[in-house]
Amino acid sequence: MTATRSQQSDLELDLFIDGAFRKASSHDRSQIHNPATGAHVGSAAKGTADDMRLAVETAAKAFDSGVWSDLDALDRGHILHAIGDALKARLPEFAELETRVTGRPIREMTAQMSRLPEWFYYFGGIARGMEGHVKPFKGGHLNYTQFSPLGVVGLITSWNHPLLIFLKKLAPALAAGNAVVAKPAEIAPLTPLLFAELATQAGLPAGILNIVTGEGSVVGPAMCSAPRMARIDLTGGTETGRRVAGMAAQRLIPATMELGGKAPVLVFDDTPLEEAVNGAAFAGFIASGQTCVAGTRFIVQDTIYEAFIEKLAAKVAGFKIGDPLDRATEMGPVISRKQMETTLDYIESGKSEGARLVTGGARAAMSGDLADGYYVEPTIFADVNPSHRIVREEIFGPVICVMPFTDEKHALQLANDHEFGLGASVWTRNVMRAHRVVKNLNAGIVWINDHHKNDPASIWGGFGSSGYGKENGWNALHEYSKEQNVVVRLTDDFPDWYGGGDRYS
């Protein structure tokens, strides 16, 4: 059997502009390595500001042609469904490649990838429902609204979920009729590039999806400053978000910012302990803690606090850490040496600040091909103080903090004592308390007796330093559209305002 492109040992990809791969204007390339083994996976071109400007101009030309923007929403939906089908047929290939690029276990990637076609089915289906509204208007007029695409929109995506984050932005942007220029993370650009090729082969017109890879500090400002750029949608760190939001504000173009998080997990003592522990392990350590909604601050009722910690420590100690391509592996490495060193620095900070180290706390000792991998032991700190650095700052690694609470008011006080407001979860069997607590949590996404779940119809976005704007659902489709109000006079005669007489009525 012939190997598919992403199964080759070295995948060398260029920019994707106007429906085809093309060389960057520089000869520099970003080298991509497997964080578990150090093996070379491939490389991507390092685009320049000129490359970004070309991509935006290409997208603008394609948009202005009407080949996509003027297409009936039903026909756009058919193409989006075809893209979903094409992706579905290649899911194993994409899952294997993302495992090699990110180090996430193949069991995780397979589960996550299985959901991705749904974004194209969902938005392809609801695009036809972007109906205007007729509204009241006094004095013999018809008053209605209508939607149209924004034009060229820019997507800036992160490395932790390279394809998921890219596609959950892309699907509504395309469904609304826009042309897209995307900038994936420099260390994880391969699956977005391959997807662009797949989408074009499935029927997306050339120039409607363009991807420029490279350093964010180089191509990012060029994207934000491009005259035809009509919207920026970023997933990334909070400081990056502040810079990009500032550039968008200078242009007076709308933006969506999905930024950092430090999700609280509130565990009440009426939750079965085994369930609470299993939920905590999933919330805190999936993807080695490298998600913006990772459960990192566990706020546990004092009546079960020590029992919870003991059982969670035993659970975590039993994780099978190993080769991410082995389907038995439950936890892989973090994405890079830099991320490993950052995580280990936070662990040392927790120790020095006096938090109780329950388990973990070091680089994981691996052998063979994995000896140089960026593995960090899953780490639990207890008895943390809300002022501790490991509680205040986003770590983005397999490190969680546990603190006790006495009552509902105390739990909410601890949960909301933070600048971030992205995700949170509440674990309780008391339905009244669950809804009462959720209403008072400062988080844009809250799960009850669960964590991390996502769906194309479920809105996603945070508050405070976690950003603004919403992904998914009708909200995303509206944010990628502009709504125009139209007022039509229905009377035969237009009054002469300057013809004299009383014109106050």
* Whole-angstrom distance, CA of residue 340 vs CA of residue 342: 5
Q: Are 351 and 218 in the same domain? A: no
Closest to 295 measured CA to CA, from 237, 380, 411, 404: 380
Q: Are 396 and 297 in the same domain? A: yes
* Whole-angstrom distance, CA of residue 217 vs CA of residue 495: 57
Per the structure, the count of domains in the chain is: 2
pTM of the model: 0.95
Digitized pLDDT (tens) for each residue of the chain, 505 residues in all: 234 555 556 899 999 999 999 999 999 999 999 999 999 999 999 999 999 999 999 999 999 999 999 999 999 999 999 999 999 999 999 999 999 999 999 999 999 999 999 999 999 999 999 999 999 999 899 999 999 999 999 999 999 999 999 999 999 999 999 999 999 999 999 999 999 999 999 999 999 999 999 999 999 999 999 999 999 999 999 999 999 999 999 999 999 999 999 999 999 999 999 999 999 999 999 999 999 999 999 999 999 999 999 999 999 999 999 999 999 999 999 999 999 999 999 999 999 999 999 999 999 999 999 999 999 999 999 999 999 999 999 999 999 999 999 999 999 999 999 999 999 999 999 999 999 999 999 999 999 999 999 999 999 999 999 999 999 999 999 999 999 999 999 999 888 888 876 665 5
Distance of CA 152 to the CA centre of its chain: 20
Task: Using DSSP bridges, classify how beta strands 20-22 and 229-235 pair: parallel, antiparallel or unpaired.
Answer: unpaired
Q: For residues 78 and 165, is the Cβ–Cβ distance under 8 A? A: no
Q: Pick the catalytic residue: 57, 118, 186, 258? A: 258
Residue 497 lies in a domain: no
Can you give the CATH number for the domain in which 382 is found?
Answer: 3.40.309.10
Residue 351 lies in a domain: yes
Annotated catalytic residue 258: yes
Q: Are 313 and 250 in the same domain? A: no
> Structural domain of residue 315, as residue ranges?
263-448
Residues sharing a CB contact under 8 Å with residue 412, sequence separation 6 or more, in sequence order = 437, 440, 441
* Whole-angstrom distance, CA of residue 223 vs CA of residue 211: 11
pLDDT tens, 370-401? Answer: 999 999 999 999 999 999 999 999 999 999 99
Q: Are 235 and 117 in the same domain? A: yes
Residue 454 lies in a domain: no
Q: Are 55 and 138 in the same domain? A: yes
Can you give the CATH number for the domain in which 253 is found?
Answer: 3.40.605.10
Residue 440 lies in a domain: yes
Q: Are 276 and 251 in the same domain? A: no
Q: Report residue 194 as tokens.
A: 């391959």
pLDDT tens, 440-496? Answer: 999 999 999 999 999 999 999 999 999 999 999 999 999 999 999 999 999 998 888
